[in-house]
Amino acid sequence: MMRTTFDIIVKTMMSGPGGIDVVRVERGITDYLKPTGWIFALSILNAPDWVPYPGRSRARAATGYLRSAITGMIAQRRRGGEAREDLVALLLAAADPVTGRVMTDEEIADNLLTFITAGHETTALGLAWTFLLLAHHPEHEVKVLSEIDAVTADGPVRPEHISELTYTRQVFSEAMTLYPPAPIITRTATSAFPLSGFMVPKGAVIVVPIHAVHHHAAIWEQPERFNPGRFAPEQAKGRHRYAYMPFGAGPRICIGSAFAQMEALAILAVMLKAARLRTKAGSMPAPIMKVTLRPRADAEMLVEPRS
């Protein structure tokens, strides 16, 4: 899933890999993410940059390669001047509506790096948890398969099918309730402010525990049960806005949420139409938080073609 969503984001952002060594970038991202448990813990503790952590030099080398590969690609695109319909073209053409200022190469590289890292691993994990949950809950898998068959008939999955895959969408939403790919987000208070009778001091790091909220018994009925019915329109109606926030909330809500959901439904439909995924394990793998919520051990699945 990581490879698939990576290919999709790279194609959407810059019309394909261009001069970038995709395998090396992918390895770089994995190296970058490996010590992120530490990076995240240190940032919560407000630790200064020089505090060492395991894997720090590898992570630095990986981000260095990513940045230089992307900066080289931007320079090439400026020189080439060819018209392409992708995110790089939009960023190159973007100008501040008031001042007319355009972005520097470094700003464009920052944006692209954010899109690459924020835009593929999360979706890949949402999909991985969905495949695992379906393998453990055949009664829902049957419903998903029959919806995909009914919507796509004998042909391939097409863009107009995506909005019709309503039960499949509920399944993906429910997978992100139990296993939110981004289980925690943080904010730093830029000034002191009152919150529920407490005074939050300037500089305090505030943790928004998305995973805990999604598993809260005061908010959800049988929170540990895999129940895609929670997302049927009549059941979702009236739910508190912040009861469910896999994509965050507020002004910095995930900019790619619509993209991610469309992408995930398309991948689920294409994969499940072609293959049946089974797991050898008797229970769901335990999750572990490493910025994102990953299966603790490799979650191996058996793939059988569907006749």
Cα(277)–Cα(304) distance, integer angstroms: 7
Q: How far is the CB of 266 from ligand HEM (least distance, A)?
A: 12
> What is the spatial distance between Cα 208 and Cα 204, in angstroms, rounded to a whole number?
13
Contacting residues toward ligand HEM, per CB under 6 A: 114-115, 118-119, 122-123, 126, 181-182, 185, 246-248, 252, 254-256, 259-260
Minimal distance, residue 307 CB to ligand HEM, in Å: 31
Amino acid at 242: Y
Residue type, 237: K
What angle separates helix 22-33 from helix 2-14, to the nearest 10 degrees?
120
As a whole number of angstroms, the distance between CA 297 and CA 132 comes to: 13
Choose between 112 and 284: whose C-beta lies nearer to ligand HEM. Answer: 112
Q: Which C-beta is closer to ligand HEM: that of 115 or that of 226?
A: 115
Q: What residue is closest to ligand HEM based on CB?
A: 256
| SS3 of residue 65 by DSSP | helix
State the minimum distance, in angstroms, from the CB of residue 115 to ligand HEM: 5
The least CB distance from residue 171 to ligand HEM, in Å, is: 13
Residues 6+ apart with CB under 8 A from 73: 14, 18, 19, 20, 88
Closest to ligand HEM by CB, 62 or 254: 254
Query: Of 55 and 248, which has the nearer Cβ to ligand HEM?
Result: 248
Beta pairing class for 292-295 and 287-290: antiparallel
Q: What is the CA radius of gyration of the chain?
A: 21
Q: Which one, 177 or 227, has the nearer CB to ligand HEM?
A: 177
What is the separation, in whole angstroms, between the first and last Cα of the chain?
23
| Minimum gap (Å) between residue 127 Cβ and ligand HEM | 8
Minimum Å gap between C-beta 305 and ligand HEM is 27
Nearer to ligand HEM, 120 or 230 (CB): 120
DSSP state of 177: H
Q: How far is the CB of 153 from ligand HEM (least distance, A)?
A: 28
3-state secondary structure of 187: strand
Pick 119 or 287: Cβ nearer ligand HEM? 119
In 3D space, the residue among 134, 115, 104, 149 whose CA is nearest the CA of residue 306 turns out to be: 149
